[in-house]
Amino acid sequence: MSDSVTIEVRRYRPEQESEPCWESFEVPFRREWMVLDALNYIKDHLDGTLSYRWSCRMGVCGSCGMLVNGEPLLTCATYLEGLMPGPIRVEPLNGFPVVRDLIGDLGDFLEKLERVKPWIVREEERDVSEGEYLQTPEQLAAYKSYAMCINCMLCYSACPIYELEPHFIGPAVIALAQRYNFDSRDEGVEERMDVISQQDGIWSCTFVGECSTVCPKNVDPAGAIQRYKVRATADFMKSMVMPWAKR
């Protein structure tokens, strides 16, 4: 294996240019390095102006998502070795406006997340003196995978609909809504339906399925969305056939 690799980075400095451009850097190759280590090397030793987000470097904070050779990946969890001989292209995720270099603004996701009420909704809340809500391991398993979302936004980058239809609330938001819908302690399915079961919600999704393919935590947002479609359709049928059954 050679002892260096070329990293091509998509730069964007709004004070200097109106369009992004490519810049190449030669970085040492080390077997144990991730793409993130290469970026840190560039920033520390070659060009301090390279801007990107990172934090935990262990695949749990969700900061370091970028496009590497066109694929949305966590750069802290992607070995250089698997991408050799290079050059390796690093760009910001698709779907988000680029603020600077490899940094996109996630405000749209956060605004949409709030809309689906991602918290436990209950008619009557229990006091702590009454102890915990009982929840068997089976009940926990029903929503556990949707609770593993680290908000890394790789699914939003992979979803062509999100970029083509800016009002689509997106895979992670729906997966997180389902996380609460399937939580036995929650009673908010009805409240969330108004936001999710409409054009900007699940009905924009055409089941491309790339979101689940790229998800580093096996959340399966595509599955969450399709299950919701089944449920929303079933609910609609029920309300047509048995309108009196509505609670």
Partner 1 sequence: MDTSAYDILVVGGGGAGLRAAIAVAEAHPQLRVAVLSKVYPMRSHTVSAEGGAAAVIKSVDSLEAHAYDTISGGDWLCDQDAVEAFVDEAPAEMLRLEHWGCPWSREPDGHVAVRPFGGMKNQRTWFAADKTGFHLLHALFQTSLKYESIVRYDEWFVTKLLVDDGVCGGVVAIELGTGKVAHFLAKAVILATGGAGKIYPFTTNAAIKTGDGMSLAYHAGVALKDMEFVQYHPTGLPFTGILITEAARAEGGWLLNKDGYRYLQDYDLGEPTPEPVLRSMELGPRDRLSQAFVKEREQGRTIETEHGDVVYLDIRHLGKKKIDAKIPFVRELCLKYQSLDPVERMIPVRPVVHYMMGGVHTDLAGATPLPGLYAAGEVACVSINGANRLGSNSLTELLVFGARAGAAAAEYALERGNPPAKLRAGARDEERRLRRKFLEKTDGNERVADLRTEMQATMEAGAGIYRDRAGLEATAEKLGELQDRIGDIAPDDRSLTFNTELISWLELCCMLDVAESVIGSGLARRESRGAHQRTDHPQRDDESYLAHSLAYRSNGNGARIEYLPVTVTRWPPGERVYGR
Partner 2 sequence: MGQALNPDHTPYHPKWYRRRIPIFWWLSKRGYVKFITRELTSPFVVYAVLLLLVQVGALARGQPAYQRVEDWLGRGPVVAWHAFVLAALVFHSVTWLNLAPSALVLRLRGARVPDGVIRAAHFGAWAACSAMLGWLLLGRV
Helices then strands, counting H and E runs in the chain, come out as 9, 7
- Helix (H) or strand (E) holding 46, with range, is none
Token reading at 22? 């490519």
Is residue 188 part of the contact set for partner 1 (CB under 8 A)? no
Options 7-15, 26-34, 119-127, 196-204: segment touching partner 2 (CB under 8 A): 7-15
Could you count the other beta carbons within 10 Å of the beta carbon of residue 115? 16
Q: Could you tell me which residues are beta bridge partners of residue 54?
A: none
CB 88 within 8 A of CB 5: yes
Options 2-10, 130-138, 196-204, 235-243: segment touching partner 1 (CB under 8 A): 130-138
Amino acid at 114: E
Indicate which of partner 2, partner 1, none lies near residue 110 (CB less than 5 to 8 Å, by partner kind). Answer: partner 1
Q: Smallest distance from the beta carbon of 18 to partner 2, in angstroms?
A: 6
**Direct distance between the N- and C-terminal alpha carbons of the chain, in angstroms, rounded to an integer:** 66
Is residue 130 part of the contact set for partner 2 (CB under 8 A)? no
Among 147, 189, 208, 232, binds partner 1 (CB under 8 A): 147
Tokens 């009805």: give the residue: 190
Q: Smallest distance from the beta carbon of 173 to partner 2, in angstroms?
A: 18
Crossing angle of helices 171-181/137-144, nearest 10°? 170
Is residue 10 part of the contact set for partner 1 (CB under 8 A)? no
d(CA 119, CA 81): 41
Indicate which of partner 1, partner 2, none lies near residue 44 (CB less than 5 to 8 Å, by partner kind). Answer: partner 1
d(CA 61, CA 31): 24
CB 165 within 8 A of CB 206: no
Options 37-45, 73-81, 124-132, 158-166: segment touching partner 2 (CB under 8 A): 158-166
Among 2, 18, 129, 218, binds partner 2 (CB under 8 A): 18
Is residue 100 part of the contact set for partner 2 (CB under 8 A)? yes
The contact mask relative to partner 2 for 33-72 (x = CB under 8 A, - = no) is -------------------------------------x--
Is residue 226 part of the contact set for partner 2 (CB under 8 A)? yes
Task: Write the DSSP assignment of 206-238 as a string of letters.
Answer: ----HHHHH-TT---HHHHHHHHHHHHHHHHHH
d(CA 104, CA 118): 23
Q: Smallest distance from the beta carbon of 213 to partner 1, in angstroms?
A: 18
Q: Which residues bind partner 1 (CB under 8 A)?
A: 13-15, 32, 43-45, 47-49, 51-63, 77, 99-101, 103, 105-106, 110, 113-114, 117-120, 125-126, 128, 131-137, 139-140, 143-144, 147-151, 176, 180, 183, 185-186
